[in-house]
Amino acid sequence: MDNQNNNQNNSNQNNRNPNNRNNKQGFSFIILVTFITSIMVLALFQFQGAGSDNEISYDEFLEMVDDGKVDEVVVQSNRIVITEKKEKNQKIAKEYYTGVIRDDSLAERLEKADVKFSQQIPDTTSAIIAQTLFSLVPVVILVGLFVWMTRKMTKGGGMMGIGKSNAKMYVEKQTGVTFKDVAGQDEAKESLQEVVDFLHNPGKYTSVGAKLPKGALLVGPPGTGKTLLAKAVAGEAKVPFFSLSGSAFVEMYVGVGASRVRDLFKQAQQMAPCIIFIDEIDAIGKSRDNQMGSNDEREQTLNQLLAEMDGFESNKGLVLLAATNRPEILDPALLRPGRFDRRIVVEKPDLKGRVDVLKVHSKDVRMDETVDLEAIALATSGAVGSDLANMINEAAITAVKKGRTAVSQSDLFEAVEVVLVGKEKKDRIMSQEERKIVSYHEVGHALVSALQKDAEPVQKITIVPRTMGALGYVMQTPEEEKFLNTKKELHAMLVGMLAGRAAEEIVFDTVTTGASNDIEKATKVARAMVTQYGMSEKFGLIGLESIQNRYLDGRPVSNCGQETASEIDKEVMKLLKDSYEAAKDLLKGHRKALDKIAAFLIEKETITGKEFMEIFHEVEGINPDDKKEKSEDRIAMNPVSLEKTEETEKTEEAEKIEES
């Protein structure tokens, strides 16, 4: 109860913050001054253009003189003022004016019409005073406004509050997120839970001599839930929580970012215990050893942040949380103990974590009895929390489109496909020849996967084009979660990737552009085997490439000379060529199954893994109920290594004899 009262008082103090009130008053004053200046400028133009409704032409003036309607004429420096004769019931005579035109006969005409006329001597004093007054007043107002803003800057607020911290502050559970809403990151939650518990029960830790960590850095790929974890800390901590992005410190004026850092920590220390969260801290925390040049504003901001983190004691209950997916570019001074004491890795969730994430995001979604979230988790290896949330939402939308009131397993699998390869392009019509090529290509992938013991089982085969560019694809789901890949599995992966191109060459005696993505993926795997995994007999265990931006694109960077790089290319080409030959050998040995499954796929466009295996077993004469026999057949059909079988060698010898 006391904690709630204190938090409420902190919230009220924040609402009554004089800085916020001064900022509001400052903006009100600026709006008022701008409005008054606009009114005065409009009045000036109105004054200069007064009487424009009484202007007449010189011809009309002469006509009035000839008709005897003019009583008096006064010739001024820039106009002729005409006073009309009053009528019987008229109290005030009307006045008109016209421009001055050089007319030597005007005086004679006025005398003839018995009109009183005179020449006015110009008095420029009052006009100059009025003009000067109306010209100087806006300038004086603008100068006063500039002086006022300068005085505000000297007080540390910056021009129009530009040096003020614009952090959003949450108190208690206003974020609406707690640790119950975060799944798949048990280790990260445990580390942050200790920080929250320390803020609630500091005596339990200080009695042992433990100190509160000054900072915790959340590191991981995009979409894994770093910001969500920080919001959960805000919901659990029940202390003031300041949240802002690293880019909020960056301005075009040098020194503004440092001023905002000072103001942020000043507010936080006044409201301690509290938590500060800086998202995307790499915007200001980039390493300062850049030889190509420097950014004074960013470096001053970073220096001020380092000084502020050294300037407060952990016993005050002030904790700094930060998130980034580029930890390798952060300044070493920012990462040392005493500033960010903990690095909390928020990795992609494993199988159990993905199941938990799916449960969290599906708790408010109505699902039927066919839903198996574990099967969906198996099919989405490598997906992050945001991907899984998107899949659940896409499945719900699909169920509504199909007129159902609950989400089914088929909706979830369709949502997985939408997220991974895009929506179906039903309006794209392929020719019969292209459909046949795509069908054999995809069946080649699936058939080689079924023939290899170390490959993943086939879930679905389709030749329906997708919006992300695929004309067809094979969905494979692993039987269990894997964290390591053996050399045999990587070889099987290469053979399976190149099997589509192999099927095209065997059936059509030509190749197409459809295997470009397969070749790209296969080259990446083969190069990693040679340069990173030490699976090349020629190079052995030497590391020839290293990974940069591990949590983003994971781009490899070469660590070898030009000659070695050339040898690497040769080794990769040899590995890919052997894999391609192994794929062709497998497909040639099972051509009958290839033709029958491809014909069935052309007719149906989409077949399930169960239908695929039934046709395969029927053609090969395998009894699917006899698991032992099936396993032995798979082993017999599977070249575990890339060495050629005796049957393949005999076939090649026969082909050579035939050619000769």
- The answer to whether residue 147 is domain-embedded is no
CB atoms within 10 A of CB 89: 5
| Domain termination residue (choose one: 361, 385, 419) | 419
What CATH number corresponds to the domain at position 553? 1.20.58.760
Single-letter amino acid code for the residue at 123:
D
State CA 212 to chain mean position distance.
33
User: What is the reported pLDDT for 10?
Assistant: 45
Identify the CATH number of the domain in which residue 97 sits. Answer: 3.30.720.210
| DSSP per position, 264-327 | HHHHHHHT-SEEEEEESGGGT-B-S--TT---HHHHHHHHHHHHHHHHS-GGG-EEEEEEES-G
Instruction: Quote the strand ranges of 426-552, DSSP E.
Output: 458-462, 473-476, 545-548
| Average pLDDT, 10 consecutive residues per value, the chain (660 residues) | 45 44 52 64 52 72 83 82 80 80 80 80 65 70 71 50 53 67 85 84 81 86 87 81 80 72 84 84 80 66 84 72 88 86 88 89 89 88 88 92 90 87 77 91 93 86 84 83 87 93 94 92 94 89 83 80 90 94 93 92 89 88 57 38 43 50
Q: Are residues 336 and 369 in the same domain?
A: no
Residues 478 and 392 in one domain: no
Count up the domains in the chain and report the number.
4
Q: What confidence score (pLDDT) does residue 33 get?
A: 61
Specify whether 442 is catalytic.
yes
pLDDT of residue 136: 72
d(CA 414, CA 571) in angstroms, rounded, equals 40
Of 280, 442, 456, 504, which is the active-site residue? 442
**One domain for residues 318 and 436:** no
Give me the pLDDT at residue 174, please. 60
Is residue 524 located within the same domain as residue 645? yes
Q: What is the pLDDT of residue 580?
A: 95
The answer to whether residue 602 sits within a structural domain is yes
Do 504 and 552 reside in the same domain of the chain? yes
Provide the pLDDT for residue 251. 65
CATH number of the domain encompassing residue 220:
3.40.50.300
655 belongs to a structural domain: yes
What's the pLDDT at 383?
87
Residue 109 is predicted with a pLDDT of 82
Q: Report strand pairing: 215-219 vs 555-558.
A: unpaired
- Inside any domain, residue 149: no
Domain boundary among 298, 328, 345: 345
Answer yes or no: do 341 and 355 share one domain.
no
Q: What is the pLDDT of residue 43?
A: 57
Q: 622 and 489, same structural domain? A: yes
- My answer on whether 324 and 447 are in the same domain is no
Residues in the chain: 660
Query: 40 in a domain, yes or no?
Result: no
Question: What's the half-sphere exposure (Cβ side, CA atoms, 13 Å) at 421?
Answer: 19
Domain that holds residue 79: 55-122
Sheet architecture: strand order including 70-75: 95-98, 80-84, 70-75, 116-119
Of 288, 317, 345, the position where a domain reaches its end is 345
* Contact assessment for residue 320 and residue 215, using Cβ atoms and an 8 Å cutoff: yes
In a domain, 17, yes or no: no
Note the Cα 534 to chain centre separation in Å.
Answer: 36
Domain shared by 228 and 182, yes or no: yes
566 with 611, same domain: the answer is: yes
Residues 335 and 382 placed together within one structural domain of the fold = no
pTM: 0.66
Is 107 part of a structural domain of the chain?
A: yes
CATH of the domain at 405: 1.10.8.60
Whether residue 48 lies inside any domain: the answer is no
Single-letter amino acid, residue 130: A
Token digits of residue 178: 């707690």
**Cα pseudo-dihedral 209, 211, 212, 215, rounded to 10:** -150
The verdict on 339 and 237 lying in the same domain is yes
CB-based contact 583:448 (threshold 8 Å): yes
